[in-house]
Amino acid sequence: MPKTETYPRLLADIGGTNARFGLEVAPRQIECIEVLRCEDFESLSDAVRFYLSKCKESLKLHPIYSSFAVATPIMGDFVQMTNNHWTFSIETTRQCLDLKKLLVINDFVAQAYAISAMQENDLAQIGGIKCEINAPKAILGPGTGLGVSTLIQNSDGSLKVLPGEGGHVSFAPFDDLEILVWQYARSKFNHVSAERFLSGSGLVLIYEALSKRKGLEKVAKLSKSELTPQIISERALNGDYPICRLTLDTFCSMLGTLAADVALTLGARGGVYLCGGIIPRFIDYFKTSPFRARFETKGRMGAFLASIPVHVVMKKTPGLDGAGIALENYLLHDRI
């Protein structure tokens, strides 16, 4: 499909920590990808202007069509990010950036659209058998927060994406260890959601809870400056810190429980898809982690879940891809 006057299109995938921008110069062809830290900019518009100034040599035409995937519920014109300080009006931002159309969607709606176009080599399968094409697909993923959505392919091939805020459901402990972790979190927060644990900051929270467990007083622990998701993961994998390994095992177990809960709720025989930047960093470990065993530990529904494949999304920029697909759907059909 040749370029048209609607290209280039400005795409963004905006999370709690980072904002990714790209220019779609032709269908599914995204160039000039940049990652900016949200905390470095007062507003979304400031970040967009900075990005466009960096890409001005690549821009032959000013983008007039744009699609932003944002990690927060979309409930009208006013948007307030859940995990960073940005707030904005969609219409005011459209005018400010001189756009003809600004489409703003939930980030996990974008993830769902991206999954609809993925190839086998974009995914790493963790157990299960085969997806049923027309059955619901469950999409969830830990990052700065925890996103959840549903993708349904209708019999005519059209797609329907159902956004959700499943990351904020109340966390349900599975065993005594998780009760201990939950109790620690409950002492810090009024509401302990799944996202409190199944996110980057969740790894730190799990570690803190486990470090206070009786019997671990003499176990080697991280210093305060080392308490980051990346260092906890690294120490877990190199075997120097058993408490870090227990933290990562607990994280994967909790994710297995939640993924199974979502799969059962949706009847997701189309598969479960895990997005976000955390799991691909330790994919080899994840394949043998407690995740899959916990996913199938659902009593009478164990056999139902055993057949459902779980896929880890390995593609680098699914949020941008999905934002572009959603915009194309809107321009063609006046709907996403």
Please state the residue numbers annotated as binding site.
12-17
Q: Which residues on neighbouring strands pair with residue 274, listed in sequence order?
A: 140, 312
What element of type H or E holds 227?
none
Decide: 199 and 146 in contact? Cβ < 8 Å. yes
Give the contacts of 234 (CB within 8 A, at least 6 positions apart).
Answer: none
Tokens standing for residue 256? 């297995």
Per-position b or e across 161-199, b if 16+ CB within 10 A of its CB: bebbbbbbbebebbeebbebbbebbeeeeeebbbbbbbb
Cα gap 162→115, rounded to integer Å: 14
Decide: 202 and 192 in contact? Cβ < 8 Å. no
Tokens standing for residue 323? 């934002």
Binding residues for ATP: 12-17
Decide: 229 and 199 in contact? Cβ < 8 Å. no
- Calculate the CA dihedral of residues 205, 208, 212, 217 and round it to 10 degrees: 150
Cα gap 141→208, rounded to integer Å: 22
What DSSP string describes 141-187?
A: EESSSEEEEEEEE-TTS-EEEEEE-GGGSBP---SHHHHHHHHHHHT
